[in-house]
Amino acid sequence: MKQQEDLYGLQRTCYSKSTKAGEQFIKEHGISFIVSGEMEAYDGNTKYLYRKGDVVLYRKNALIRFVKYPHQEEGFEAISVILDENLLKTFAEHNEIISETHPKESLFKLEHDELIQAYFKGIQTWFGHSIQTELADIKKTEMIHLLLRNNSLYKEVLFNFETPGKINLEAFMNTNFRFNVPLSQFAFLTGRSLATFKRDFEKLFQTTPNKWLQQKRLEEAHYLLKNKKMKKVKDVYLEVGFETLSHFSYAFKNHFGVSPSQL
C-alpha cells in the first residue's frame, strides 16, 4: 500500500510493502529524510543504503533507482523537499551566489545536523492540512539555508543551472543501460538532441539504441541468474531495466532458448 502527499514540493511518502520505484530521471534537486524503514539508491555505479534518521540530497539531471524497504513492524516513510530551479535561481540572485564547479556525484548523505532533523520533524505535522504555495516556498527557502549551513560545498550542487554538455556516449550507455527511461532522456543527459543521439549511437554501436539496450539487458540478466545466483526472476527483470516480466521472459527465451526460470 502506498500513500503520498504533496504540499507544493513538500512531500510525504509511505509504503507498507517493499517496493522498487520506477526508473527515476531526477528533474529537480531534492532532499529526503528517512522517518522509518530503509531506502536503497542506485546511481548506475554504486548502490547506497540509507536508514532511519538519514538525510540524503540528490541532484537534478541524474538517473537514480530507489528501492524502499519497510522495517519489521514499521512501514517505510520519508519526508522530502523538492527544490525547483525557479526558487533556486531567485535565491542565488538575492544572495549573489555563483556555482563554479560541477560535482559528478548524484547522491550526498548529510552529516548529522540537529537543525535539519528538527526541520523535518516539524514538517511531519503539516501533512493532512491545506497550505498556501507561499508558505511552502518559505519552508523550501529555509531548507536551502540549512543545507548551505551544513556544508557550503552544496552550493556547487544546488546552483548549477547548466544543461548537460556533450559527453562520451559509449561510457555513459555502458554505465546506465539498466535504467528504463525514454531515449529522449538518455539523449538529454549525453548533451544531444534525440536525432543526434540516434545517429551517434548507430555510428558507434552499429545497431539501433533499442536493439542494443535489449541485448545488453538480456546479457546482464543471464549473468545475474547464472553466475550470481539471483533466483528471483521478478527481481532480475527490474534490476536490468525491463518494464514487464512477460516481455522479459519472452525476450529472454527468444534470445537464449530457455526461460529465465530454467537457469
Same domain, 78 and 206: no
For residue 21, pLDDT over 80 is answered with: no
Same domain, 127 and 222: no
Stretch 93-111: mean pLDDT, rounded?
90
Confidence (pLDDT) at 146 = 98
Q: What is the distance, to the nearest Å, from the Cα of residue 159 to the centroid of all Cα atoms in its chain?
A: 19
Same domain, 86 and 142: yes
For residue 156, pLDDT over 80 is answered with: yes
- Name which of 180, 181, 172, 177 is nearest 200 in CA terms: 172
Q: Which of 123, 158, 193 is the last residue of a domain?
A: 158
Same domain, 10 and 135: yes
Number of domains in the chain: 2
**pTM (two decimals):** 0.90
Confidence (pLDDT) at 202 = 98
Q: Say which residue the cell 529555509 belongs to.
A: 142
As a whole number of angstroms, the distance between CA 16 and CA 211 comes to 37
Residue 180 contacts by C-beta under 8 Å, 6 or more apart in sequence? 22, 23, 241, 242, 243
The string of pLDDT tens digits covering residues 117-146 is: 999 999 999 999 999 999 999 999 999 999
Confidence (pLDDT) at 169 = 97
Residues of the chain with pLDDT > 90: what percent?
82
- Categorize the per-residue pLDDT at 103 as very low, low, confident or very high, splitting at 50, 70 and 90: confident
Residue 14 contacts by C-beta under 8 Å, 6 or more apart in sequence? 2, 3, 4, 75, 76, 77
Same domain, 222 and 122: no
Residue length of the chain: 263
The string of pLDDT tens digits covering residues 188-247 is: 999 999 999 999 999 999 999 999 999 999 999 999 998 876 668 888 998 899 989 999
Sign of the CA dihedral with 249 first, then 250, 254, and 257 last = positive
Same domain, 61 and 188: no
Stretch 70-88: mean pLDDT, rounded?
92
Same domain, 6 and 124: yes
Report the CATH number that the domain containing residue 253 is assigned in CATH: 1.10.10.60
Residues of the chain with pLDDT > 70: what percent?
97
Same domain, 173 and 151: no
Looking at per-residue confidence, does 108 or 20 come out higher?
A: 108
Same domain, 145 and 19: yes
Q: In the 3-class helix/strand/coil scheme, how is the chain assigned residue by residue?
A: CEEEEEECCEEEEEECCCEECCCEEECCEEEEEEEECEEEEECCCCEEEECCCCEEEECCCEEEEEEEECECCECEEEEEEEECHHHHHHHHHHHCCCCCCCCCCCEEECCCCHHHHHHHHHHHCCCCCCCCHHHHHHHHHHHHHHHHHHCHHHHHHHCCCCCCCCCCHHHHHHHHCCCCCCHHHHHHHCCCCHHHHHHHHHHHHCCCHHHHHHHHHHHHHHHHHHCCCCCCHHHHHHHCCCCCHHHHHHHHHHHHCCCHHHC
For residue 22, pLDDT over 60 is answered with: no
Would you say residue 46 lies in a domain? yes
Same domain, 31 and 55: yes
Would you say residue 35 lies in a domain? yes
Report the CATH number that the domain containing residue 13 is assigned in CATH: 2.60.120.810
Residue 149: phi and psi, rounded to 5, are: -70, -40
Confidence (pLDDT) at 1 = 60
Stretch 158-168: mean pLDDT, rounded?
92
**Strongest mean pLDDT among 71-80, 90-99, 161-170, 197-206:** 197-206
Q: What is the pLDDT of the chain when averaged over all its residues?
A: 93
Would you say residue 163 lies in a domain? no
Same domain, 47 and 11: yes
Q: Which of 158, 181, 202 is the last residue of a domain?
A: 158
Would you say residue 205 lies in a domain? yes
Report yes or no: 16 and 70 within 8 Å, Cβ to Cβ: yes
The string of pLDDT tens digits covering residues 40-60 is: 999 999 999 999 999 999 999
Stretch 88-96: mean pLDDT, rounded?
95
Same domain, 106 and 54: yes
The boundaries of the domain holding residue 56 are 2-158
Confidence (pLDDT) at 125 = 94
